[in-house]
Amino acid sequence: MSSKPFSSVWLREPRKSAAAPGRSREEIVAAAVELLDQEGLSGLSMRKLGARLGAGATSLYWYVANKDELLELAYDQVWGEIIVPDPDDVGWRDAVSALAYGMRATILRHPWSADLIGRLPALGPNSMRVGDRIRRIFKAAGFQGLDIDFCGSTLTAYVFGMTIPEIAWRTSMGDKDIGQMRDTVREAAAAHPEMLEGVDTLADGDPDTVRRLSFDFGLVSLLDGLERRRAS
């Protein structure tokens, strides 16, 4: 049984700009991100992107071999928005907190990127920079060996696990009447007193505020757990 060869736009040299017509790769990627922000993954096509740039779709293939390569470039550009503070300047906990909030904010600004996590290779310079600095933070905290990578994967799993469902909720339920939704949930939870109590507790809260508080609670709890593990 033969395996499919692994490929990535980052594993080959880009075409020389002198041979390419009209646009730079940076311009094309920036336009792709704008189109993705407006229309999502389903709205991105080489034809639409070419029209936005005033160029034919065929000319874009001077820069990328296919749509997946274009998505890799756009995905890495998004990672370039994430700021990772130096733990020597702010301490490891504050560095992790800033990173986590920055990742969440970046994914929410570019909700299409959530569908690419784990689907496309994150081998671009911005992704590598963030990954490298995450390891540096946990090294600075005193973790060693595999624990450094386990800390990083735990953190990213938490951010992704909290943020991706939030995007799904905003996409499917964001334009629904909140009051009506709560009434429907109350009706469904009528025979489950603990669930009903939870619904009533959150009844007067703004959904966005509640989600931010929930994210903060979980992040602090995660950091407290890592702090205790580090100390031991």
- Check for a shared fold between 9-78 and 82-231: no
Instruction: Quote the CA–CA distance of 29 and 77 in Å, as a whole number.
Output: 8
Residue where the block lists tokens 């736009």: 9
For residues 45 and 83, give the distance between their C-alpha atoms in angstroms, rounded to a whole number: 30
pLDDT at 213: 92
H helices present in the chain, as ranges: 25-39, 46-53, 57-60, 67-79, 87-90, 92-109, 125-140, 146-173, 178-188, 193-201, 207-231
- Point out the residues of the chain with pLDDT beneath 50: 18-19
Q: What integer pLDDT is reported at residue 183 of this predicted model?
A: 78
Domain boundaries, the chain: 9-78, 82-231
Amino acid in the structure at residue 128: M
Query: Which top CATH class is 9-78?
Result: mainly alpha
Domain 82-231 sits in CATH at 1.10.357.10
* Beta carbons within 10 angstroms of residue 168's beta carbon: 13
pLDDT per position as a tens digit, 134-158: 999 999 999 999 999 999 999 999 9
Q: What is the pLDDT of residue 18?
A: 45
Residue with tokens 């992790």: 96
Residues 219 and 100: beta-carbon distance below 8 Å:
yes
Distances (CA, A) of 112 to 9, 43, 207: 19, 10, 21
pTM of structure: 0.86
Of 79, 1, 6, 71, nearest in space to 42 by CA? 71
Each residue's pLDDT tens digit, 115-128: 999 888 889 999 99
What was the pLDDT predicted at 203? Answer: 66
- The reported pLDDT for the residue numbered 8 is 86
